[in-house]
C-alpha cells in the first residue's frame, strides 16, 4: 500500500533515511554524564509511545523513505517486550536496517532472542575496560556482563558490532589506545565520540573535552599510522580508519570539532513521542498526541513531509559558543 507520495527531503536538499527512536527514558546504569543520580523525574508509562504507535510511526516513515531505524533509550533492553518490537519493525516493508544502541548490561541474557528477531546491528556503549572505573563512571558494577555480551554478540554473528567510547579527559582518556588496540584482536568497530554538552544537568566542561584529532594522534603514535576507510553514504558521521594489522576498524565521531550537518540524514523521536529535527535544537513537536487522537497513516505522512522543511541547516549555537540543548541525553537517546 502506498501511504506517502512525497519523501522526506528537507529545505537544504538532505534526504532523511534514518530514524533514532528512544523507547524508554529508564536505565539500569547511571552514567554520571548522562543521568543525574537524584531529582530524576521519570516519564509516566502513559507518556511513553506504545508499541502499536511505534509500529504505525515506522510504517509511515518507511513509506516516506526511512530505511534505517535505531532503537535507543534510556536503556532500550529494559523495555518489556523489546524483542517483539524489534521483530515487528524489522519485518516492515522498506525497513532495511534495524539497529540497537545499548549499554550491554542485559545483552548476554538477550542476545540470542535479539538475533533470532532479526537484529544484526549492535552498538554497545563502553567507556572503560577497567571494572572499578566502570563502577565509577556508571554507578554500577556490571563491567563483566557487558564484556560477556560483546563477546557473545560477536560469536553469534552480529555484524557490525560497534563499541561507542565517549572520550573524557582526566576520566578515561588513558584508555584510548587500549580501545584502539581491541581492533587488532576483534572484528569490532571502535568509535571514539567527542563528549558533548547535552542536558541542563550536563557534567560537560571544556577541561574534560578531548578532540578526535588528539585521539587519532595518540593512537598513531602508539600503534602506527591509521589508513582511512571509505564509509558508505548514510552510514553515519564517523570517520573510519584501520590499523595496518587491524581486523576491526577505528572511528571518530566529532560533533564539536568537525561539522557533519551538511550530510545529516536523521530524525529523532524521544521516548515520550516528541520529534526532534536536530539533536541540538530544543524545538520539539509532539507526535504522541496525534496518535492518541487517531491520526491516519495518510495524515501522518503529510505531517512529516511538511515538518521536515523546518529541519535546521545545522545546529544553532544559541546558548554558548558550543552546541548544547536542555533535554537529557537519556530521553533523546544519543
Question: Residue count at the site for ligand SAM (CB under 6 A)?
Answer: 22
- Binding segment for ligand SF4 (CB under 6 A), chosen from 71-79, 92-100, 186-194, 221-229, is 71-79
Contacts of residue 12, defined as CB under 8 A and 6 or more positions apart, other chains included, come to 262, 311, 313
When asked if residue 27 is in the footprint of ligand SAM (CB under 6 A), the reply is yes
- With CB under 6 A as the contact rule, the residue among 63, 128, 164, 324 that binds ligand SAM is 164
- With CB under 6 A as the contact rule, the residue among 17, 24, 56, 72 that binds ligand SAM is 72
Q: Nearest approach, Cβ of 292 to ligand SF4 (angstroms)?
A: 26
Separation of alpha carbons 116 and 123, rounded Å:
17
Burial zone of 25 (CB within 10 Å; 0-12 exposed, 13-18 middle, 19+ buried)? buried
List phi, psi (to 5°) of 316: -105, 110
When asked if residue 40 is in the footprint of ligand SF4 (CB under 6 A), the reply is no
List phi, psi (to 5°) of 240: -105, 145
Taking the CA atoms of residue 282, residue 288, residue 289 and residue 294 in that order, the dihedral angle to the nearest 10 degrees is 150
Q: Which of residues 111-130 bind ligand SF4 (CB under 6 A)?
A: 125
Contact 43/331 with Cβ under 8 angstroms?
yes
Q: Which of residues 206-225 bind ligand SAM (CB under 6 A)?
A: none
- With CB under 6 A as the contact rule, the residue among 10, 25, 75, 88 that binds ligand SAM is 75
Q: CA 223: distance to chain centroid?
A: 28
Q: Nearest CA to 227 among 204, 208, 250?
A: 250
SS3 content of the chain, % helix, strand, coil (to 5): 35, 20, 45
Using the minimum distance from each CB to ligand SF4, give the nearer residue, 255 or 273.
255
261 touches, from ligand SF4, ligand SAM, none (C-beta below 5 to 8 Å by class) = ligand SF4
- With CB under 6 A as the contact rule, the residue among 115, 186, 260, 303 that binds ligand SF4 is 260
When asked if residue 270 is in the footprint of ligand SAM (CB under 6 A), the reply is no
| Contacts to ligand SF4 by CB under 6 A | 27, 29-31, 34-35, 73-75, 103, 125, 260-261, 264, 278-280, 314-315, 329-330
Amino acid at each position: 500500500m502506498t501511504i506517502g507520495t512525497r519523501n522526506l527531503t528537507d529545505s537544504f536538499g538532505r534526504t532523511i533515511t534514518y530514524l533514532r527512536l528512544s523507547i524508554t527514558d529508564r536505565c539500569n546504569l547511571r552514567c554520571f554524564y548522562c543521568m543525574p543520580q537524584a531529582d530524576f523525574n521519570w516519564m509516566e508509562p502513559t507518556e511513553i509511545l506504545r508499541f502499536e504507535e511505534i509500529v504505525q510511526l515506522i510504517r509511515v516513515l518507511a513509506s516516506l523513505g526511512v530505511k534505517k531505524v535505531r532503537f535507543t533509550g534510556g536503556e532500550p533492553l529494559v523495555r518489556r517486550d523489546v524483542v517483539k518490537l524489534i521483530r515487528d519493525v524489522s519485518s516492515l516493508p522498506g525497513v532495511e536496517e534495524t539497529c540497537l544502541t545499548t549499554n550491554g548490561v542485559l545483552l548476554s541474557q538477550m542476545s540470542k532472542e535479539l538475533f533470532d528477531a532479526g537484529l544484526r546491528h549492535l552498538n554497545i556503549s563502553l567507556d572503560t575496560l577497567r571494572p572499578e572505573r566502570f563502577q565509577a563512571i556508571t554507578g554500577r558494577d556490571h563491567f563483566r556482563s557487558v564484556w560477556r555480551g560483546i563477546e557473545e554478540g560477536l560469536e553469534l554473528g552480529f555484524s557490525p558490532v560497534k563499541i561507542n567510547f565517549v572520550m573524557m579527559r582526566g576520566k578515561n582518556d588513558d584508555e584510548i589506545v587500549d580501545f584502539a588496540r581491541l581492533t587488532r584482536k576483534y572484528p569490532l568497530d571502535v568509535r571514539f565520540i567527542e563528549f558533548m554538552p547535552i542536558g541542563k544537568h550536563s557534567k560537560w566542561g571544556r577541561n574534560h573535552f578531548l578532540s578526535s584529532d588528539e585521539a587519532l594522534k595518540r593512537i598513531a603514535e602508539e600503534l602506527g599510522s591509521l589508513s582511512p576507510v571509505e564509509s558508505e553514504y548514510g552510514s553515519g558521521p564517523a570517520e573510519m580508519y584501520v590499523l595496518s594489522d587491524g581486523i576491526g576498524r577505528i572511528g571518530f565521531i566529532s560533533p564539536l570539532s568537525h561539522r557533519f550537518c551538511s550530510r545529516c540524514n536523521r530524525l529523532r523521536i524521544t521516548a515520550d513521542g516528541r520529534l526532534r529535527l536536530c539533536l541540538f535544537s530544543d524545538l520539539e513537536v509532539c507526535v504522541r498526541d496525534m496518535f492518541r487522537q487517531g491520526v491516519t497513516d495518510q495524515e501522518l505522512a503529510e505531517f512529516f513531509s511538511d515538518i521536515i522543511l523546518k529541519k535546521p541547516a545545522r545546529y544553532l549555537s544559541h546558548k554558548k559558543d558550543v552546541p548544547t540543548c536542555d533535554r537529557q541525553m537519556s530521553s533523546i537517546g544519543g
